[in-house]
A = this chain, B = another copy of it.
Amino acid sequence: MVQLMKAAVFVEKNRIVLEDKPVPDVGPLDALIRITTTTICGTDIHILKGEYPVEKGLTIGHEPVGIIEKLGSAVTGYQEGQRVIAGAITPSGHSYACLCGCGAQDGAGSKHGFRAMGGWKFGNTIDGCQAEYVLVKDAMANLSPIPDHLSDEDVLMCPDIMSTGFSGAESGGVKIGDTVAVFALGPIGLCAVAGARLMGATTIIGVDTLPERMKVARGLGADHVIDFKAGDPVEQIMELTDGRGVDVAIEALGTQSTFESALRVLRPGGTLSSLGVYSTDLKIPLDAFSAGLGDKRIVTTLCPGGKERMRRLMEVCASGRVDLKPLVTHRFKLDDIEKAYDLFGNQRDGVLKVAIQP
């Protein structure tokens, strides 16, 4: 008899609904995880609104915290009952892309081993984790045991928000003494602030307009927070840096406006580190690009995954270097996930991230 579980399913544009689905079968390399805590991501809202296409009937969600329910026959090194997380991105470990250091673009099984965004499987190409159970493919490359002294919420930001946000600083190559600007202080931008701080930036400038976010940004390491409604953020940043510009500008929203401002505040030789999911073509203004002669770089990064990444991020949580607890502003039972989508999708009540517990 098929065992059933509850799962938040994309039914059609503007409808994600909690439904019954069969608990998945476990292949030799897989692990079945019983979800104990998960969350909703801004990308899930794009899916809800029909802005990012996924198949109807897919379970949404890509930030799993849980317990190993069942291990595939070929999986070694883990025990059932162990508390684990997996990244939002789950590289196979064995594709050409993975072995090339590009796990997020994993194309295991495809002709050349690369597939754009191929490492993003949960809630994108396979059933995700806003459910009672989730199946993790290539479990040995992806399951990362949670240290005993960390709670589910302690590590809830690791699978996506923290990994993505920190990567903004890492791909930007932040160095000791750098000045860094972060455009948009949603959960990703806030983690980018924390990541820049963690890597030694000494002047961090956040840009947003919502007072609660600006406050959290200061707590995570922003030295200055600029309200883009109070004046052109480019002018404000150039004034703050006394005309020099910034070494690294991190884009954390996914719009032409933030992208362009990020490019404009760069000093010659600086790096624009882009994290946002765009939904339109982008324009690079000739002057902001110094006609191609300014030694500027534009780098994009999809959330790094894999168990070593998760281990390191949990080390950050355990060390107390960064406190992301203030990001979890609301909590819901899985049964109430539709309400959680309503709150989070409409950005009410100062919500930053919600914790969902089956």
A interface residues, Cβ below 8 angstroms from B: 27-29, 73-74, 76-77, 92-94, 96-105, 107-109, 111-118, 120, 138, 140-141, 166, 170, 175-178, 195, 198-200, 202-203, 223, 242-245, 254, 267-269, 274-286, 289-302, 306-309, 311-313, 315-316, 318-319, 321
Complex contacts, A245 vs chain B, CB 8 Å = 114
- Across chains A and B, which 10 residue pairs bring their CB atoms closest together, nearest first? A177-B312, A105-B268, A99-B308, A93-B93, A102-B269, A94-B141, A202-B319, A112-B244, A94-B140, A93-B94
A124 to chain B, nearest CB (A): 10
Which listed residue, B93, B109, B242, touches A111 by the CB 8 Å rule? B242
Instruction: Say yes or no: A278 contacts B297, CB within 8 Å.
Output: no
Complex contacts, A115 vs chain B, CB 8 Å = 268
Docked CA distance A254–B117 (Å): 29
How many copies of this chain sit in the oligomeric assembly?
4
A104 to chain B, nearest CB (A): 6
Which listed residue, B105, B199, B277, touches A176 by the CB 8 Å rule? B199
Docked CA distance A77–B107 (Å): 11
Docked CA distance A261–B101 (Å): 25
Which listed residue, B109, B200, B293, B308, touches A116 by the CB 8 Å rule? B293
Instruction: Say yes or no: B301 contacts A295, CB within 8 Å.
Output: yes
Docked CA distance A281–B282 (Å): 10
- Which residue from chain B places its CB closest to the CB of A267 in the assembled complex? B114
- 11 A–B contact pairs at CB < 8 A? A100-B269, A104-B293, A117-B294, A176-B316, A198-B200, A200-B200, A275-B292, A277-B292, A281-B285, A282-B283, A293-B302
